Amino acid sequence: MTIPFLDLQAINHEYADELKAACARVIDSGWYLMGEELSRFEADFADYCAVTHAVGVGNGLDALTLVIRAWKEQGKLRDGDEVIVQHNTFIATLAAIIENGLTPVLVDTDLTTFNLDVGAVAAAITGKTRLIVPVHLYGQLAPMPEIMALARQHGLLVLEDCAQAHGASLQGRKAGSWGDAGAFSFYPGKNLGALGDGGAVVCNDAALATLVRALGNYGSRIKYQHEYAGVNSRLDEIQAAILRVKLARLDADTERRRLIAERFTAQIHNPLINVPRATHREGHVWHLFVVTCRCRDALKDYLTERGIQTNIHYPLAIAEHPPYRHLTIPTRAQEAAQNQQILSIPLYHTLSDAAQVHLIDALNHFGSAQ
């Protein structure tokens, strides 16, 4: 049996008729950018996240970059300001900070949730800190009540990186509605994935939303009048139409993911493998199911031999990449070790029962079968 790490064909096949109808509607409309589909998706997505504004942009990186850029335009951030961010995120979070001339300060994460460690955040705050960027890594909300309390106490902005956590919620509040703004990616493999690139900024601040929209449209609110030095970063009509179809079923898909994750956590009981747990059921949307194992590479090879594709999110620490070598890595030795131990195993809502059984069985026999 072969189990791909992700099966986008199977995932999108479930929506095939509706997706084709949505594309046909856009093709026939003759209107391909900044039209009805985008405004409707933005309204639906803002509603879904329980915020007043959503602005579609070209991708998740741009969503992060444009919010920071907008805060610079508003004078809320300046070159050289320090930004607290976790060390184990995807490179895009760092790229958005550095591209804007701000200084990332990498901090430790909680070893069980992989999310920001509030104590580490508090310890990293200096007179130059202006922004915290919690990343809801692997689909689990960061400890937002504590992070927001800390941010308010020190007068800091908070930008949630929600690229992996569409629909995760805590105390009834969704990802993206906790901070001063949230940034989403609709990269095809995300829980809410387009059929190409896409992203969105969400917030409860009309002025910020207007500014982000202008910055992503050549700094223009009125055609051919450019108030800001902007870029071209727009969510096109076809992707917006596709996302409307998939958003309507996101909660149902997430529930299927949760049930699979719960089965994995209940049934994988190999002492060599640590399985992840959700701190709160609704707080985790299981974008990735990341186990840890001291002999991770052997486990990866063993699973490959059994037809199970795995992945590592992420194999190198940020400061191991040439452009980011100047950044200091957190010193906690355990943290560095975590990088050598993480392994993402397949988890998506179309994963068949047989595949789930094969996976659980393989993981439970690791070590004894060798």
Ligand X SMILES: Cc1ncc(COP(=O)(O)O)c(C=O)c1O
Least distance to ligand X from the beta carbon of 28, Å? 28
Instruction: Please identify, using beta-carbon distances, which residue of 135 and 355 lies nearer to ligand X.
Output: 135
Instruction: Please identify, using beta-carbon distances, which residue of 37 and 197 lies nearer to ligand X.
Output: 197
Distance CA 311, CA 227 (A): 44
Least distance to ligand X from the beta carbon of 364, Å? 29
Instruction: Please identify, using beta-carbon distances, which residue of 317 and 362 lies nearer to ligand X.
Output: 317
Q: Contact positions toward ligand X, by CB under 6 A?
A: 59-61, 89-90, 92-93, 135, 161, 163-164, 185, 187, 197, 199
Instruction: Please identify, using beta-carbon distances, which residue of 166 and 349 lies nearer to ligand X.
Output: 166
Distance CA 33, CA 39 (A): 11
Least distance to ligand X from the beta carbon of 6, Å? 13
Of 134, 5, 88, the C-alpha closest to 314 is 88
What are the residues whose beta carbons fall under 8 Å from the beta carbon of 325, sequence distance 6 or more? 319
Instruction: Please identify, using beta-carbon distances, which residue of 15 and 184 lies nearer to ligand X.
Output: 184
Instruction: Please identify, using beta-carbon distances, which residue of 91 and 125 lies nearer to ligand X.
Output: 91
Least distance to ligand X from the beta carbon of 155, Å? 25
Residue 241: in which H helix or E strand, if any? helix 237-247
Residues found in the chain: 370
Least distance to ligand X from the beta carbon of 133, Å? 9
CA distances, 7 to each of 2, 124, 205, 264, 346 (Å): 11, 40, 37, 19, 9
Distance CA 211, CA 92 (A): 21
- Let me know the angle formed at the C-alpha of 86 by 81 and 91, rounded to the nearest 5 degrees: 85
Instruction: Please identify, using beta-carbon distances, which residue of 60 and 283 lies nearer to ligand X.
Output: 60
Least distance to ligand X from the beta carbon of 292, Å? 19
Least distance to ligand X from the beta carbon of 63, Å? 8
Measured distance between the N- and C-terminal CA atoms of the chain, rounded to whole angstroms: 19
Of 67, 59, 348, the C-alpha closest to 184 is 59
Distance CA 320, CA 327 (A): 9
Least distance to ligand X from the beta carbon of 60, Å? 2
C-beta separation of 253 from 191 below 8 A: yes
- Let me know the angle formed at the C-alpha of 194 by 188 and 198, rounded to the nearest 5 degrees: 95
- CB-closest chain residue to ligand X: 60
Amino acid at 282: E
C-beta separation of 136 from 162 below 8 A: yes
Instruction: Please identify, using beta-carbon distances, which residue of 164 and 310 lies nearer to ligand X.
Output: 164
Instruction: Please identify, using beta-carbon distances, which residue of 162 and 293 lies nearer to ligand X.
Output: 162
Distance CA 257, CA 241 (A): 24
Least distance to ligand X from the beta carbon of 135, Å? 5
Distance CA 138, CA 288 (A): 5
Instruction: Please identify, using beta-carbon distances, which residue of 184 and 264 lies nearer to ligand X.
Output: 184
Distance CA 147, CA 184 (A): 19
Least distance to ligand X from the beta carbon of 316, Å? 15
